[in-house]
Amino acid sequence: MPLGAPGKGETDPAPHTLRSRNIPMFGAITWRDNKERAMNVADERSMSCWLQDAPAIKAPPLQTDQTCDVVVIGSGIAGLSTAYELSRFGRSVIVIDRGKIGYGMTARTTAHLATELDDFYCELIRVRGEDEARIYYDSQVAAVNRIEAICREERLDADFARVDGFLFAAEESHRAGLEEEYQACRKIDVDIDWVDRAPVPGINTGRALRFSNQGRFHPTKYLAGLARAILARGGRLYADTAYVAHNETDDRVEISTEQGCVIRAGAAVFATNSPVNDKMTLHTKQVPDRTYVIA
């Protein structure tokens, strides 16, 4: 999968995207001592290199009741992308976040834009079939293309680049899985081929799968650009504004915030990664997971 751009003082080992099956993603995190090892967005014990390059977007907390066409809860790439697209079509949009705008998990990503998925296409085909796997692949391609187009149209300085992605086996026993994934990808027309080795300095990866025309970017620069575009179209951003509850009627939804303010909108979009509401009891189906990345 794509390797993000290096942080300050670091060098980029290769202009490619990299991933090894059954080992952690690649990226960059450092700790000052053992107490710093907890990945916690709220207390900022782990500082992403992306946040060092581009500080969080400034936005005030919500202090009065508001009305809009659509309210978006969450200001990561999902929330700001939704707000951006809505604002392009003339909708009045409000984005709220319990913390700083663009300061959540998107700011702590490996910054890769990949058409491959974590559970692999062979597994997706087994569970959902070839038709749905092809739809998923096409949607991934379209998403990367859309980010590239937004960077171009809005003239965002987000370090977007097209790169190759590589998938290789961490252990000899996993090599059969690469062949299985290759055959699955061919069934749904994924742009993929074999290379003798992935270009990972100091590691003999053996044969690897190359996914052509992937992408990488600077996530916080991209979010900052989306935020500016949203504000330019009349959108409103409110930081440090936690969702508390919502009430739905036939044609409206009311969002209550921790400050006691109410946002009345025609629709609400929850873009908080882990849902903040109790619909479908999704919390009972989730488990905490922590990954580490090295650049």
Q: What is the pLDDT of residues 28-57, one digit of tens each?
A: 333 333 333 334 455 566 678 888 877 678
The Cα 118–Cα 124 span in angstroms is: 10
Handedness of CA 184, 187, 192, 193 (dihedral sign): positive
Tokens of 289: 């997971």
Judged against a pLDDT cut of 50, whether residue 25 lies above it is answered with no
Number of Cβ within 10 Å of residue 146's Cβ equals 12
Among 7-16, 24-33, 259-268, the least confident range: 24-33
The Cα 168–Cα 177 span in angstroms is: 10
The percentage of residues in the chain with a pLDDT greater than 90, rounded to a whole number, is: 64
Please report the pLDDT score of residue 277 as a whole number.
65
Contact 17, 214 (CB under 8 A): yes
Q: Is 173 left (phi over 0), alpha (psi -120 to 50) or beta?
A: alpha
Residue 221: which of 285, 165, 150, 117 has the closest Cα?
A: 150
Report the chain's mean pLDDT, rounded to a whole number. 84
Instruction: Supply the DSSP symbol for 202.
Output: T
In this prediction the pTM is 0.82
Please report the pLDDT score of residue 43 as a whole number.
57
Please report the pLDDT score of residue 157 as a whole number.
93
SS3 of 41, please? coil
Please report the pLDDT score of residue 248 as a whole number.
92
Report how many helices (DSSP H) and strands (DSSP E) the chain contains, helices first: 6, 11
Please report the pLDDT score of residue 169 as a whole number.
92
Among 12-21, 78-87, 231-240, the least confident range: 12-21
Band the pLDDT of 8: cuts 50, 70, 90.
very low
The Cα 1–Cα 18 span in angstroms is: 5
Residue 75: which of 92, 43, 100 has the closest Cα?
A: 100
Provide mean pLDDT across the span 245-267: 95
DSSP 215-280: EE--HHHHHHHHHHHHHHTT-EEESS--EEEEEE-SS-EEEEETTS-EEEEEEEEE--SS-SS-GG
The Cα 70–Cα 243 span in angstroms is: 15
Contact 18, 165 (CB under 8 A): yes
- What is the chain's length? 295
CATH number of 51-108+218-295: 3.50.50.60
β-partners of residue 167 are 19, 209
The Cα 103–Cα 241 span in angstroms is: 13
Q: What is the pLDDT of residues 169-204, one digit of tens each?
A: 988 888 899 999 999 999 999 999 999 999 988 888
Exposure string for 182-203, b = 16+ CB within 10 A, e = fewer: bebbeebebebeeeeebbbeee
Tokens of 136: 């998923």
Provide mean pLDDT across the span 246-274: 94
Tokens of 178: 């690469």
Tokens of 181: 């994934």
Residue 148: which of 53, 216, 201, 206 has the closest Cα?
A: 216
Band the pLDDT of 293: cuts 50, 70, 90.
confident
Instruction: Supply the DSSP symbol for 101.
Output: B
Please report the pLDDT score of residue 16 as a whole number.
44
From the number of C-beta atoms within 10 Å of its C-beta (0-12, 13-18, 19+), residue 42 rates as: exposed
Residues of the chain with CATH 3.50.50.60: 51-108+218-295
β-partners of residue 96 are 73, 238
